[in-house]
Structure 1
Amino acid sequence: MRVSILASGSTGNSSLIETAQHKILMDAGLSGKKMKLSLAEVGVDIADIDMVFLSHDHADHSKGLGVLMRRYPRLAAFANSGTWEYLAESHKIGQIPVGQINVIEPGQTQTFGDLEVTAFATSHDAADPQYYVFTSGGKRMVFLTDTGYVSQQVKGVIADADAYLMEFNYDDLMLRNGPYSWSLKQRILSDVGHLSNEDAGHALVDVVSSKTKHIFLAHRSQHNNTAKLAYAAAKKILLNADTALPSDVKIVLADASVPTNLVQI
Structure 2
Amino acid sequence: MGIQFSVLSSGSTGNATVVTDGQVTLLIDAGFSARRIVELLASREVTGDQLNGILVTHEHSDHIKGIGAVARKFKLPVYANEKTWAAMYKNVGPLPDEQRIVFGTGEARDFGSLHVESFAISHDAAEPVGYCFQDGKEKLSVVTDLGYASDKVKMMISDSDVMVLEANHDIEMLRMGRYPWNIKRRILGDMGHLSNEAAGEVLSELLTGRVKRTYLAHLSREHNMLELAKMSVRGAMEDRGCFYKDSEFRLCETYYDRATPWDKVGEP
TM-score of the pair, normalised by structure 1: 0.94
Indicate the residue corresponding to 2:20 in structure 1.
Answer: 18
Indicate the residue corresponding to 2:54 in structure 1.
Answer: 52
Q: For the residues of structure 2 that align with 1:243 and 1:138, how far apart are their CA atoms?
A: 26
Indicate the residue corresponding to 1:66 in structure 2.
Answer: 68
Q: For the residues of structure 2 that align with 1:85 and 1:5, how far apart are their CA atoms?
A: 27
SS state at 1:187 partner: helix
Q: CA deviation at 1:244?
A: 8.7
What amino acid maps onto 2:29 in structure 1? D
SS state at 2:211 partner: coil
SS state at 1:85 partner: helix
SS state at 1:141 partner: strand
What amino acid maps onto 1:77 in structure 2? V
Q: Is the 8 A contact 2:237 2:243 kept in 1?
A: no
What amino acid maps onto 1:198 in structure 2? E
Q: Render the CA deviation track for 1:206-234: whole Å, top value 9, x for unaligned.
A: 22345212210000001111112101012
Aligned-CA RMSD value = 1.6
SS state at 2:206 partner: coil
What amino acid maps onto 2:257 in structure 1? S
Q: For the residues of structure 2 that align with 1:206 and 1:106, how far apart are their CA atoms?
A: 24
Indicate the percent of aligned positions where both proteins have the same amino acid. Answer: 35
Q: For the residues of structure 2 that align with 1:133 and 1:202, how far apart are their CA atoms?
A: 20
- Where structure 2 has 5 or more consecutive residues not aligned to the other structure, the ranges are none
TM-score of the pair, normalised by structure 2: 0.93
Indicate the residue corresponding to 2:161 in structure 1.
Answer: 162
For 1:91-102, what aligned pairs fall within 5 Å after superposition?
91-102=90-101
Establish whether residue 249 from structure 1 lines up as the match of residue 249 from structure 2.
Answer: yes
For 1:102-181, what aligned pairs fall within 5 Å after superposition?
102-181=101-180
- Where structure 1 has 5 or more consecutive residues not aligned to the other structure, the ranges are none
Q: Render the CA deviation track for 1:60-98: whole Å, top value 9, x for unaligned.
A: 00111000111111x12111111012222xx11222332
Indicate the residue corresponding to 1:229 in structure 2.
Answer: 228
Q: For the residues of structure 2 that align with 1:30 and 1:208, how far apart are their CA atoms?
A: 33
Length, aligned pairs only: 262
Q: Is the 8 A contact 1:16 1:23 kept in 2?
A: yes
Establish whether residue 82 from structure 1 lines up as the match of residue 93 from structure 2.
Answer: no
Task: Please identify runs of 4+ aligned residues in structure 1 that moved more than 6 A.
Answer: none
Q: CA deviation at 1:242?
A: 4.6
Indicate the residue corresponding to 2:260 in structure 1.
Answer: 260
Establish whether residue 238 from structure 1 lines up as the match of residue 237 from structure 2.
Answer: yes
Q: For the residues of structure 2 that align with 1:3 and 1:11, how far apart are their CA atoms?
A: 20
SS state at 1:92 partner: helix
Q: Is the 8 A contact 2:48 2:74 kept in 1?
A: no
